[in-house]
Amino acid sequence: MSAQGSGPVRKPLPSGFAEALGGRFGEAFQTSEAILAQHGSSESHFATMLPDAVVFAESRDDVVDLVKLCAAARVPIVAFGAGTSIEGNAAPVQGGVSLDLTRLNKIVAVNAEDFDCMVQPGVRREELNQHLRDQGLFFPIDPGANATIGGMASTRASGTNAVRYGTMREAVLSLEVVTPQGEVIRTARRARKSAAGYDLTRLYVGSEGTLGIITEITLRLHPIPEAISSAVCGFASLKGAVDTVVQSIQCSVPLARVEILDAMQIRAVNRWSKLDYAELPTLFFEFHGSPSGVAEQVETVKALAEANGGGEFAWSNLPEERSKLWRARHEAYYAAVNLRQGAVGWATDVCVPMSRLAECIERTHEDLIGASVPATILGHVGDGNFHVVFSLDPNAPDELAEVEAINARLVERALEMDGTCTGEHGIGLGKQDWLIAELGDAVEQMRLVKRAFDPQNLLNPGKIFTLWAAPRPWRSR
């Protein structure tokens, strides 16, 4: 993509700046090759782009001081968490400081009666759920990777539970944010709803670190359901699987999770996770509720599956069986990438209205049949969201060009169906042209926000959109 190679020329750090950071942050300031590489590479197909330095924040004050030092010296800052983003969202394209927030990993408070908690941005979702379990609570947002909560807020992550519990948009009640000027603000109180002014919380959620640095997150939690049941069901066709989900939702079945994996993805999962599912288009289900409620849901969905060419349901009701099933789903990306040894991954991400989903997946599947690169389809089918994962040979530039073309056709197909170019991965570097295709002049309103909040363009510069639209004749108004 053009966005990868473009962007302003990197400037070296101003003279004396590294020394100033070293003086303020001591050992938490790092410039070793290994640490720079860790903060400049990604799990996806983007080239490594090194920051000039890494600072590990250990307090909110560290963040404030770093932001002020960088603002004074006009040095970019890119917030960094688990490094699991997919679209180059945390790549330091203009160099500067990679601000590692993983040491800010305290669970600050759990308010069990209010079903909420406050955490620092470096807390990881699995760790949070382990902490909550004894109190009968859980945090449902599950993007697959064991991401940090700060990173998940920044990219508006969602994943397997979103069909029932929503995305980070719904999960975040309030944020503490350090502005590009080093001011600390809190975007909302802890009430479950509010009509107090502009929705700053939702403005920062999904802004990919371009508007401020998140230093604390207040999250909505949910009670662990009384009954949980998971099942796997293979289908004669992709369409049959998708139709089962669409019809279940139309019947108001409150599915907690419903994931689609095509036959190739099942082959990859079987190989990677040592399982033996039939190599068919397959749905992974999870049902939450009271025992009788779950039984009722299951009955409805089984009848629909049968009518749509589904086979037997293979049940996983014990916690350890469920864990195994969902671990396999969570490793599906790595399983797909490793269909070829030494390959690198490229995971695309579109989301379309439910009525168009079967057609979108089918046409995409047809497009993949002719491809020379192994590719799988998997997705959060209850939201209309799915991914294609390509297993790319890094030494074969033709493959990259081929995948770029398939990806372009996929996004165009989704946009034609009034869908979006990204359901959950964000824009980062990889989807900038598609954002313009999707939202047109609305992107100009985003730019107005960015320029107003961060006039020096120091927070994660070069992401989501260019600061100014490409030159064009000014239109008369």
Q: Which of residues 395-424 bind its own copies (CB under 8 A)?
A: 414-415, 418-424
Stretch binding its own copies (CB under 8 A), from 11-19, 106-114, 259-267, 398-406: 106-114
Nearest CB to its own copies, comparing residues 365 and 431 = 431
**One residue of 160, 207, 230, 316 binding its own copies per CB under 8 A:** 207
Nearest CB to its own copies, comparing residues 48 and 135 = 135
**One residue of 51, 281, 384, 430 binding its own copies per CB under 8 A:** 384
Distance CA 166, CA 164 (A): 6
Q: How far is the CB of 247 from its own copies (least distance, A)?
A: 10
x-marked contacts with its own copies along 323-352 as a string, rule CB under 8 A: --------------------------x-xx
Q: How far is the CB of 475 from its own copies (least distance, A)?
A: 9
Q: Which residues contact 429 (CB under 8 A, 6 or more apart)?
A: 1, 3, 4, 46, 87, 88, 89, 91, 93, 462, 463
The verdict on 68 binding its own copies (CB under 8 A) reads yes
Give the H/E segment covering residue 433: helix 432-439
Q: How far is the CB of 472 from its own copies (least distance, A)?
A: 14
Nearest CB to its own copies, comparing residues 278 and 449 = 449
**One residue of 6, 59, 135, 292 binding its own copies per CB under 8 A:** 292
Q: In 10 A of CB 222, how many CB atoms?
A: 17
End-to-end CA distance of the chain: 33
The answer to whether the CB of 269 falls within 8 A of the CB of 261 is yes
**One residue of 203, 275, 408, 467 binding its own copies per CB under 8 A:** 203
The verdict on 252 binding its own copies (CB under 8 A) reads yes
Q: How far is the CB of 207 from its own copies (least distance, A)?
A: 6
Residues in the chain: 477
Give the C-alpha distances (Å, rounded to integers) separating 121 from 55, 215, 216.
Answer: 15, 6, 6
The verdict on 185 binding its own copies (CB under 8 A) reads yes
Task: Give me the amino acid identity at 182.
Answer: G
| Cα angle 454, 81, 125; round to 5 | 120
3-state secondary structure of 455: coil
The verdict on 225 binding its own copies (CB under 8 A) reads yes
**One residue of 61, 183, 321, 398 binding its own copies per CB under 8 A:** 183
**One residue of 392, 435, 458, 459 binding its own copies per CB under 8 A:** 435
Distance CA 182, CA 452 (A): 15
Of 6-65, binders to its own copies (CB under 8 A) are none
Q: Which residues contact 34 (CB under 8 A, 6 or more apart)?
A: none
What is the chain's alpha carbon radius of gyration, rounded to the nearest angstrom? 22
By CB under 8 A, the count of residues binding its own copies is 96
Nearest CB to its own copies, comparing residues 97 and 162 = 162
The verdict on 189 binding its own copies (CB under 8 A) reads yes
Of 436-465, binders to its own copies (CB under 8 A) are 438-446, 448-449, 451-453, 464-465
Q: How far is the CB of 380 from its own copies (least distance, A)?
A: 9
Distance CA 424, CA 446 (A): 18
The verdict on 290 binding its own copies (CB under 8 A) reads yes
The verdict on 138 binding its own copies (CB under 8 A) reads no
Residue environment code for 9-23, b if the CB has 16+ CB neighbours within 10 A, otherwise e: eeeebeeebbeebbe
Nearest CB to its own copies, comparing residues 374 and 384 = 384
Q: CA torsion 149→154→156→160, rounded to 10°?
A: -30
Give the HSE-up count for residue 138: Cα atoms under 13 Å, Cβ half-sphere. Answer: 14
Q: Which residues contact 48 (CB under 8 A, 6 or more apart)?
A: 37, 40, 41, 42
Stretch binding its own copies (CB under 8 A), from 43-51, 340-348, 365-373, 435-443: 435-443
Nearest CB to its own copies, comparing residues 361 and 446 = 446
**One residue of 7, 22, 293, 309 binding its own copies per CB under 8 A:** 293
3-state secondary structure of 352: coil
The verdict on 170 binding its own copies (CB under 8 A) reads yes
The verdict on 109 binding its own copies (CB under 8 A) reads no
Nearest CB to its own copies, comparing residues 193 and 274 = 193
